[in-house]
Each structure stands twice: as C-alpha cells, then as structure tokens.
Structure 1
C-alpha cells in the first residue's frame, strides 16, 4: 500500500516519524470530536484528513518547549509589571507622608 502523500514528505514537516504519528493522531481526534459536536458526517476518515492537512501545511506544530518559553516570558513580564506597580505605590505613599 502506498501512502499519499509519501512518508518522506510528511516527515519533513515534523522532526521525526514518532512526532508525525503523535501529531496525526491528535489532529484526527480533534477532527472527530468537532464532527461529533456539530453532528457533521465526514466523507473520509479523520486520519486521512489530518494527514492531508499536515502535508498542505494547514497544521502548525507547537512544541512543549515553545509553550514553556512563552509561559516563562509571560511570568517574567507579569513580575516586572507587579514590581513597577509596587514601586509606584511606594512612591505615592511617600509623597502622601511628606
């Protein structure tokens, strides 16, 4: 059985075959859940749809490390904002005391 698109083309979109399997399975579950929620009949299997979407570049892969980096940046920004607010409140309190 030939796979279309070829496995070699699909693996170029992700880091490895294992990542590809994970991404296809995850996307296929999303497609099935959405079809069930909307009571839509799928003309083709959700796995086939997921493979096609990956081949066409319609699926973005966000790795956990990227999510972690974004979370760290968000926490750092929140800490900076909190420190700035605290400094502003202290300055206001000092001005009121004077």
Structure 2
C-alpha cells in the first residue's frame, strides 16, 4: 500500500516529523469544521490526507 503524498516529499517541505504531524492534525480539525480545502480535487477523502496534500502543494506551511 502506497501512501500519498510520500513522507519523503513532505519532509522536503517540513523537516521535522513532529511538526508535520502537529500541523496536519490541526489542519484536519479545521477541515472537519469548515470543509474548505485549499487544493483542487484532493485524492484523499480523509481530512488528514487532505491536509498532507495541502502541505505537499505548498499551500500549508510553517513560517520561520
């Protein structure tokens, strides 16, 4: 089973796995309330997957 997006692609955007998990879980909670996805036609039907797709697309990030 392949996970999309891959952890390698996500870690190119956000280096820390802890930060990646925290950011995606917070965004998934927001998506469950608002259903306002920032990517067109997400592949995932689950909110965490949608949040990870947003990170991969560069729409969701952590400011330095």
- Give the structure-2-normalised TM-score: 0.74
Q: Is 1:49 aligned to residue 50 of structure 2?
A: yes
Q: How many residues align?
A: 56
Gaps of 5+ in 1: 36-42, 67-98
- 2:14–2:61: 8 Å Cα contact kept in structure 1? no
Runs of 4 or more, structure 1, over 6 Å off, are none
CA positional deviation for 1:15? 2.5
Deviations 1:36-95, CA, capped at 9 Å, x for gaps: xxxxxxx81111110110000011313xxx6xxxxxxxxxxxxxxxxxxxxxxxxxxxxx
Query: Which has the larger helix fraction?
Result: 1
Rg (Cα) greater in structure? 1
> What residue number does 1:33 align with?
33
Q: CA RMSD in A?
A: 1.7
**Using CA pairs below 8 Å that are at least 6 residues apart, which structure has the higher relative contact order?**
2
